[in-house]
Copies of this chain bind each other. A is one copy, B any other.
Amino acid sequence: MCMRARKTEIICTGSELLSGKLNLYVPLFHEKLLPLGFEITREQSPGDTLREIADCIKGALTRADLVVVCGGLGPTFDDLTRQAAASALKKKLVYSNAQDCALKAKYGLAKLPPNLADQCLKLAGAKTIENRNGTAAGQEIACKNKLVVLLPGPRHEWEPMFKDCLEADLKRFFSVRGGAPEMLKLKISGLGEVTAEKLLRPVMKRFKEARYTILAGPWTVEFIITAGAKGEMQSAKCKTEERSSTIAEIEKACRKILGNKIYGVNGDTLEAGAGALLCGAGLTLSCAESCTGGLLSSLITDSPGSSAYFKGSAVAYSNAAKTRLLKVRPQTLKKYGAVSELCAREMALGAKKLFSSDYALAITGIAGPEGGTPKKPVGTVCFALMGPGKTNTFTRRFHGERTFIKRCAANFALDELRKVIE
């Protein structure tokens, strides 16, 4: 029998999350917890006050099966999660001699200073989760058939705790035996959010038992499919295999509609995908960039091992650099302008020669906010992709702010490269 997804609430402490810092953790918890069968049903950020944190924990326990509190286990005055949890759960804090010994050994101390000694306080009845990368141990405590987990704030401290201990503990406590909900992200390029939704509507109508989210990006769209995550929507007799086959069927149906507009799944990126194709074919790449200003080559070199296929880029921001470095002809610039397919073609040729690469990608355009004309408005970008055989040129117009237009242009170029090599 497949499991009903367990309701989970995440509580992220830290006043900085309410005063300017982005909360980067919720998607990370989602990725860790969903495969184990836990669906996040609410997230709360209470700030560093004891009463607020305790109130969030108390409220979450009335609704969720699993409550994860992240942060506030450090050694300073504003770390109040232990105390807040004790108050919310009506448990005493007891001194953990084991944690005391562990910390003494870790730091070679005969006696712990007061702030480290604070970190030995444990909720009565809690299990300690070892922290390999810091001083703040995690804690797990059962409240009847529910579980409260306290984790330290830094990602590199709490993330290993999942593999080390939490995954097994959660499975044991909630008797999860496979059958967890499944998620699939389809990565799509070259379509807007609205068009993607329109094209995919028949799939969503056909497979009503799954849930769908569409997220727009620069020249890309993510289509997120979740099957079996919504306990209430799922019949008790559904089987794991059935659900797996559902995800596979939905993927197949999407691919039938979108074809090679799907460039990958889950964590795949355009830059890593294009890189893998080059690497597999033993081909090399160079770039000539104007309006993207180095973003294209920076994205390509975000992939470890990119030196195997990436030779370099000439960021020719001025016309002088275009003629000198890339041998763009002055008459091309004069007659057609720097933002023209012919200029892009000559830039690509220049880069291909300069770096002796098999492929060359050139981008030249108007990222804005200034520099647009009625004929070439802001967002107009020309591309050339020169391969061993032929050269393709393109002109596209992107909409948005300067940095968004840069990213759209870089993604478009990577996408065309991928399609040509495929």
Contacts and interface: CB of A to CB of B under 8 A. Distances in A.
Contact of A213 (B16, B287, B305, B325): B16
Nearest to A296: B294
A44 B47 contact: no
B301 A293 contact: yes
Contacts of A183: 19
A406 B304 CA distance: 12
A288 B98 CA distance: 54
A27 B21 contact: yes
Interface stretch (A109-117, A143-151, A311-319): A311-319
A304 B42 contact: no
Nearest to A18: B40
Nearest to A315: B313
A302 B402 contact: yes
Contact of A298 (B27, B222, B306, B406): B406
Contact of A45 (B24, B42, B47, B213): B42
Interface string A300-340: 11101111001111111110110011000000000000000
Contacts of A421: none
Contacts of A297: 293-294, 315, 317
B23 A26 contact: yes
* Identical copies in the complex: 2
Given A304-B370, A354-B324, A27 B31 contact: no
A293 B310 CA distance: 10
Interface residues of A, number: 78
A20 B41 CA distance: 13
B23 A23 contact: yes
Contacts of A24: 22
Most buried by B among A39, A215, A298, A354: A298
The listed residue with most B CB atoms (<10 A of its CB), out of A293, A368, A406, is: A293
Interface in A186-238: 211, 213, 215, 222, 224, 226
Contacts of A306: 293, 317
Contacts of A314: 312-315, 325
A49 B403 CA distance: 34
Given A45-B43, A402-B302, A321 B355 contact: yes
A181 to B, nearest CB: 10
Contacts of A403: 302
B321 A312 contact: yes
Nearest to A44: B44
A301 B41 CA distance: 41
A300 B304 contact: no
Contacts of A59: 59
A104 interface: no
22 contacts: A15-B213, A17-B26, A18-B42, A18-B43, A19-B34, A19-B226, A20-B224, A22-B24, A41-B49, A42-B56, A291-B301, A293-B294, A295-B301, A304-B402, A307-B317, A311-B320, A311-B321, A312-B315, A312-B316, A313-B317, A318-B355, A324-B354
The 5 A-B pairs at the shortest CB distance, nearest first, are namely A293-B301, A294-B294, A294-B297, A313-B315, A294-B298
Interface of A: 15-24, 26-27, 30-31, 34, 39-47, 49, 52, 55-56, 59, 63, 183, 185, 211, 213, 215, 222, 224, 226, 287, 289, 291-298, 300-302, 304-307, 310-318, 320-321, 324-325, 354-356, 367-370, 402-403, 406
